[in-house]
Amino acid sequence: MADDDAREDNHKNPDERTEEPTEEEEREHREEEKENVAAVGGDGGSADRRSTSPSLGGRAEDLDEVAAAVVERFPGTVFHRSHGQPVVYVDRSVWVDMAGFLRDEQHFTQCMDVTAVDHLVDAERLEVPGVVPERFEVVANFLSHPRNRRLRAICEVPADAPSVPSVTGVYPGMNFGEREVFDMLGIAFDGHPDLTRILMPDDWVGYPLRKDDPPGRVPVTFKEDPSPR
């Protein structure tokens, strides 16, 4: 309790504190922030912090140079700046070509991670203009050591044909990552050398991270319980 009191003294009446600055000061502050944001190249529109609709990238001055190269090389690709990070939405037919392009021509030395998202029950989904939303999204994070920059590529995958070409030919380290996505979300990676379950048992039925796969489905059996599982 003593500690709490001491802490309380450090920042008195925090609830009232937010009301202290006058309107004018606040406006000034906001403008300052806007300038700061502009200085770092449109950092995902963080000027209005509580806004529920994050400002969408794609303005010409925001275009990331690597993303620009990808957009130029693969028509139909959509660039989006997500909280300051460059993201490209790529069609799945060029998924592997894009990975090869990033590695061989853009010096993206490593693919850090492959994962996927199931958007089945989203209350509200981030809308990116130009992208036709599908149920699944496969997400890959690329890292370039020489250029010290990152790029995220996202590929829309429809629910009726959940498959994507495998990037293991370009980045062999995505072997485990793609197996995990297959195991958890049931998205097949064409051309993967060993597409088997990795975390779940081999005889598992269903894909746990899909939104229509409810948690707690397996009945618990006890030693004395005569009923089979």
User: Which residue ranges make up the site for another protein (CB under 8 A)?
Assistant: 3-5, 7-8, 10-11, 13-15, 17-18, 44, 46, 49, 51-54, 82-85, 87, 103-104, 109-113, 115, 117-119, 122-126, 139, 141, 145-146, 148, 150, 152, 171-177, 179-180, 184, 193-194, 196-201, 208-209, 215
Q: Which is nearer to another protein, 27 or 145 (CB)?
A: 145
Q: How far is the CB of 68 from another protein (least distance, A)?
A: 20
Tokens of 169: 């030919």
Q: How far is the CB of 24 from another protein (least distance, A)?
A: 22
Q: How many residues does the chain have?
A: 229
Nearest Cα to Cα of residue 114 among 64, 187, 42: 187
Q: How far is the CB of 105 from another protein (least distance, A)?
A: 11
Q: At what angle do helices 65-73 and 95-105 cross, to 10 degrees?
A: 130
Q: Which is nearer to another protein, 69 or 200 (CB)?
A: 200
With beta carbons less than 8 A apart as the criterion, state whether 66 and 106 touch: yes
User: What gap in Å lies between CA 66 and CA 69, rounded to an integer?
Assistant: 5
Q: How far is the CB of 85 from another protein (least distance, A)?
A: 6
User: Which H or E run includes 14?
Assistant: helix 14-17
Q: Which is nearer to another protein, 77 or 175 (CB)?
A: 175
Q: How far is the CB of 58 from another protein (least distance, A)?
A: 15
Q: Which is nearer to another protein, 133 or 158 (CB)?
A: 133
Number of helices (H) and strands (E), helices first, in the chain?
6, 7
Q: How many Cβ atoms sit within 10 Å of the Cβ of residue 221?
A: 11
Amino acid at 167: V
Q: Which is nearer to another protein, 41 or 172 (CB)?
A: 172
User: What gap in Å lies between CA 197 and CA 150, rounded to an integer?
Assistant: 29
Q: How far is the CB of 97 from another protein (least distance, A)?
A: 16
Q: Which is nearer to another protein, 201 or 226 (CB)?
A: 201
- DSSP letter string over 67-102? HHHHHHHSTT-EEEEETTEEEEEE-GGGHHHHHHHH
